[in-house]
DNA sequence: GTCTATACAAGGATAGAC
DNA sequence: GTCTATCCTTGTATAGAC
């Protein structure tokens, strides 16, 4: 039920999604929908909590807190890619929030914590010598999340690419780039 | 004037942005706004045309059509990063369209042409030996645009990072990845 | 070019019957 | 749990005065 609502939210944006359309897609009347949720904001809150919880579980797992920065990077990237694939709709919703309500603002704050955590891991990676010195750790974090978050724009679970295969491709790209092995970056 | 309207569109999403708010931000009444635009859809169309035109200019420049695939890749990446920085708001608007009106659908179609063109360049890059064989050209295109498009989420023109510096960082990352020179990708 | 006033539809949410 | 009917606000857009 919530999955269908999230689809409507994504089709129009949370603000522009109307209860009439939600009710229609659920095959119910508007007032029947209000029997299950107290408000539109509550629907949003429940949906966001699922994907935020999944991401928090990744970043709070022992493998994300212990070991070398490189190992921790690999773990959180794999976890974030998995969540992006498995909770595509809900992550899309999260990524497109605009912060015009209390629920949105709190979700955005929880999301920003992931950015800070990954950035910290990259800072440690630079110290341990596993991050190239000519890319800023903050930029590395933004590139990495930019890459992972963009997965929701095109990934389809019914396709050939499995989440773990995609995660390995993301890791290959972010660690080694697109050039063939042995080729110089420049010129 | 259109710049302020685009900001309102981005703050709430095109559909949810109201003429009352647009008028308020412009310091005008609703009817005065209608003296300058015939409809909300027209405002959207004008704004999208600017950023789409800038991107089309990049992909249709001689440097994007001639030379090695690697050189063409570098040229379109630099151009797309520049547009992302210089037209951040308008590109944000384009990237968040949902296709619920004719104007949106046509803009999304023009946008998809860029994806196809970059993908084609990566296919040629694979043939000429400048793209690693273990990453699919289609995936390389999605990773690349995912990276570039995510710039609008955090780039601020008033910051220290200039567009051309950012473009070089993007190229460094996408060609060589985050590992230090000489370090193996795995483990 | 800008305003106030207004038309008419659609928004979120509730009341009360079944 | 679901419905129809309804409340009150807000939406896009227009009319007509200044």
Quote the DSSP letter at residue B178.
S
Question: B85: exposed, middle or buried (C-beta count within 10 Å: 0-12, 13-18, 19+)?
Answer: buried
Domains of chain A, CATH where assigned: 44-176 (1.10.357.10)
Mean pLDDT, all residues of chain A:
97
Task: Please name the residue of chain B whose CA is at the shortest distance from the CA of residue A11.
Answer: B98
Q: Which residues contact A97 (CB under 8 A, 6 or more apart)?
A: A14, A48, A104, A107, A108
The reply to whether the CB atom of residue A39 sits less than 7 A from any atom in nucleic acid chain C is yes
Residue A89 has what pLDDT? 98
The reply to whether residue B150 touches residue A154, judged by beta carbons under 8 angstroms, is no
Residue A186 has what pLDDT? 78
Quote the DSSP letter at residue B68.
-
Handedness of CA A127, A130, A134, A140 (dihedral sign): negative
Please state, in angstroms and rounded to a whole number, the distance separating the CA atoms of residues A130 and B185: 10
Report residue B135's pLDDT band, with 50, 70 and 90 as the boundaries: very high
Helix segments in A87-150, DSSP class H: 88-95, 102-128, 137-149
Report residue B186's pLDDT band, with 50, 70 and 90 as the boundaries: confident
B14, B175, B177: best to mutate for the A interface, most A CBs within 10 A: B177
Chain A: closest CA distance from residue B111 (Å):
13
Per-residue pLDDT of chain A (187 residues; tens, 9 = 90+): 899 999 999 999 999 999 999 999 999 999 999 999 999 999 999 999 999 999 999 999 999 999 999 999 999 999 999 999 999 999 999 999 999 999 999 999 999 999 999 999 999 999 999 999 999 999 999 999 999 999 999 999 999 999 999 999 999 999 999 999 989 987 6
Residue A44 has what pLDDT? 97
CA of A23 to C1' of C15 (A): 19
């Amino acid at each position: 039920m919530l999955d269908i609502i999230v689809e409507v939210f994504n089709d129009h944006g949370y603000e522009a999604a109307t209860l009439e359309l939600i009710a229609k897609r659920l095959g119910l009347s508007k007032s029947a929908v209000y029997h299950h949720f107290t408000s539109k904001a509550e629907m949003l809150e429940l949906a966001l909590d699922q994907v935020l919880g999944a991401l928090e579980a990744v970043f709070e797992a022992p493998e994300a807190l212990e070991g070398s920065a490189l190992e921790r990077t690999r773990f959180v990237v794999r976890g974030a890619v998995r969540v992006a694939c498995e909770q595509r709709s809900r992550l899309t919703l999260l990524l497109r929030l605009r912060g015009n309500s209390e629920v949105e603002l709190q979700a955005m704050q929880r999301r920003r914590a992931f950015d800070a955590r990954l950035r910290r891991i990259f800072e440690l990676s630079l110290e341990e010598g596993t991050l190239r010195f000519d890319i800023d750790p903050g930029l590395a974090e933004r590139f990495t999340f930019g890459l992972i978050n963009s997965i929701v724009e095109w990934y389809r679970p019914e396709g050939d690419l499995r989440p773990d295969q995609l995660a390995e491709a993301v890791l290959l790209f972010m660690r080694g780039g697109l050039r063939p092995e042995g080729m110089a970056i420049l010129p």
